């Protein structure tokens, strides 16, 4: 949604098309040429989510003007809120009736799902109904973080038998040991527009301009000024042959930030086009450097989303009683497992972090596709000696996990949908930082139980017994 406000010293909308639609052309062009820090644009557009009003409570654009992105394209095609017609018992897609079982009308396009179609209009196109997905809980799990400091009962959605039992066992061990300590190292969502030139000389000249202190300062101030709830966290320039990638990272607070980072990248492109001394032959909002929703080494190291660390010490007696192994044996097995993973070229040095993240994301309304990059992590086990004497029968277990690209949110996307809000209510987590710390604790709980089951030889039996109950 866009709300235009005059006489505010901030830059306006986040793309040239939106800028020109939202305010007078002369004002828009002048705004793009502003040299900060004296930003003197006379129009401002606020980007909001989740309703007719913007994030600052202002109303939508005047009804007489179509949304900026649709100007010149005609009216959008009218589509039914739900393509499933319960009255006629027909599902019609592009004028063609799709045959469905009778169970479709009770399990997918049931009365409540069709009635609630309007709730999902901004989240799902060509809506036909909903599916019910098994959801369970683990916990209580004690988390001792800067943003999370209590016992949590955590919703997780999965149809993989034995998964929640395993995570619950890990949570039990952690809680009996006094909890897991968590810290957030950083928070940043990047976008990397690419600029393409005719040869490496032209590209290098542009790279020097882009990475100059003046350009970095100006672009950062421009983004901070133009976009609400956004703060630039990094600005990096990478030249690869005749291409130059300008990676800009933003902190978007409780939102995941992919859309805000997109707008920040668009501002980078606008500034470069208006201020670089030569014409830029080609430029695109993304050239693959951002590695969106796929694992990458750069974000595993430098971070994307939340960068979180968590650790705990499990006493010897808790390891033997709850995890049914010993600290020395399980840490030895875990290190062997990690070394093998490194040998075969794995990026994520963990057992099965993706399992827990996927179940957590689905239950809480976070984007399951972000598991692809969020699960890039490193688990580490070691012995914690009880005294000066290094006796393996008396040592405790040290366990930690580092997740440098954990992408979670507390607002935006599917977080506002009723079922996800209801599931999250049992946690009582209200901020993205809190959710990130809880998520790291969940991941470590799963690692503890998995490695213990593998080392003790219980893994196969546990899966069979819990998935064949008759």
Q: What is the DSSP string of 138-196?
A: EEEEEEEESS-EEEEEEEEE---TTHHHHHHHHHHHHHHTT-EEEEEEEEEEEE--EEE
Instruction: Tell whether the model's pLDDT for residue 61 goes beyond 90.
Output: no
Instruction: Tell whether the model's pLDDT for residue 391 goes beyond 60.
Output: yes
Question: Among 337, 334, 343, 306, which residue's Cα sits nearest to residue 436?
Answer: 306
Higher pLDDT, 233 or 295: 233
pLDDT tens track for 125-153:
999 999 999 999 999 999 999 999 999 99
- Chain-wide mean pLDDT for the chain? 85
Instruction: Tell whether the model's pLDDT for residue 407 goes beyond 50.
Output: yes
Q: Compute CA 141 distance to the chain's CA centroid, rounded to the nearest angstrom.
A: 22
Task: Give the range among 203-217, 234-248, 383-397 with minimum mean pLDDT.
Answer: 383-397
What percent of the chain lies above the pLDDT cut of 90?
74
Interatomic CA distance for residues 187 and 308, integer angstroms: 9
pLDDT tens track for 24-42:
333 333 444 333 333 333 2
pLDDT given for residue 71 in this prediction: 53
Over residues 120-124, the mean pLDDT reads 93
For residue 387, name the pLDDT band (cuts at 50, 70, 90): confident
Interatomic CA distance for residues 131 and 135, integer angstroms: 12
User: Rg of the chain over CA atoms, in angstroms?
Assistant: 26
For residue 386, name the pLDDT band (cuts at 50, 70, 90): confident
What residues act catalytically? 160, 293, 367, 463
Higher pLDDT, 8 or 248: 248
Instruction: Tell whether the model's pLDDT for residue 246 goes beyond 60.
Output: yes
Is 260:230 a contact under the CB 8 Å cutoff?
Answer: yes
């Amino acid at each position: 949604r866009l709300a235009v406000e005059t006489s505010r010293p901030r830059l306006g909308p986040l793309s040239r098309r939106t800028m020109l639609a939202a305010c007078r052309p002369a004002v828009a062009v002048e705004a793009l040429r502003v040299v900060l820090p004296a930003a003197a644009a006379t129009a401002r557009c606020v980007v909001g989510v989740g309703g007719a009003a913007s994030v600052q409570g202002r109303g939508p654009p005047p009804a007489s003007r179509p949304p900026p992105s649709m100007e010149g394209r005609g009216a959008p095609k009218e589509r039914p809120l739900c393509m499933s017609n319960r009255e006629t018992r027909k599902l019609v897609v592009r004028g063609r009736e799709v045959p469905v079982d009778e169970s479709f009308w009770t399990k997918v396009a049931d009365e409540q799902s069709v009635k609630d179609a309007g709730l999902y209009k901004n989240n799902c196109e060509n809506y036909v109904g909903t599916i019910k997905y098994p959801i369970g809980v683990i916990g209580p799990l004690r988390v001792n973080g800067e943003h999370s400091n209590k016992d949590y009962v955590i919703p997780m959605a999965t149809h993989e038998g034995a998964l929640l039992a395993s995570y619950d066992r890990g949570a039990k061990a952690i809680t009996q040991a006094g909890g897991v300590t968590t810290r957030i190292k950083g928070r940043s969502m990047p976008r990397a527009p690419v600029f393409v030139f005719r040869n490496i000389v032209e590209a290098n000249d542009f790279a020097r301009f882009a990475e100059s202190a003046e350009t970095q300062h100006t672009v950062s101030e421009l983004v901070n000024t133009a976009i609400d709830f956004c703060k630039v966290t990094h600005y990096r320039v990478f030249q690869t042959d005749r291409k130059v990638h300008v990676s800009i990272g933003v902190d978007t607070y409780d939102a995941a930030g992919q859309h805000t980072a997109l707008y920040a990248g668009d501002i980078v492109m606008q500034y470069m086009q208006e201020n670089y001394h030569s014409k830029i032959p080609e430029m695109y909002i993304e050239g693959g450097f951002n590695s969106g929703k796929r694992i990458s080494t750069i974000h595993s190291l430098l971070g994307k989303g939340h960068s979180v660390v968590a650790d705990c010490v499990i006493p010897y007696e808790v390891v033997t009683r709850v995890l049914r192994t010993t600290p020395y044996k399980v840490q030895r097995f875990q290190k062997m497992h990690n070394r093998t993973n490194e040998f075969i070229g794995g990026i994520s040095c963990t057992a099965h972090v993706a399992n827990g993240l996927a179940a957590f994301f689905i239950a809480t309304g976070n984007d399951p596709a972000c598991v692809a990059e969020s699960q890039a992590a490193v688990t580490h086990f070691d012995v914690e000696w009880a005294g000066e004497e290094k006796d393996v029968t008396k040592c405790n277990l040290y366990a930690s996990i580092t997740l440098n690209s954990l992408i979670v949110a507390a607002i935006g996307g599917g977080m506002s949908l009723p079922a996800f809000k209801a599931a999250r209510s049992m946690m009582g987590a209200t901020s993205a930082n809190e959710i990130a710390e809880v998520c790291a604790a969940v991941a470590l709980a799963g690692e503890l139980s998995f490695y213990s089951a593998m080392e003790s030889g219980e893994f196969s039996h546990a899966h069979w017994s819990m998935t064949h109950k008759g």
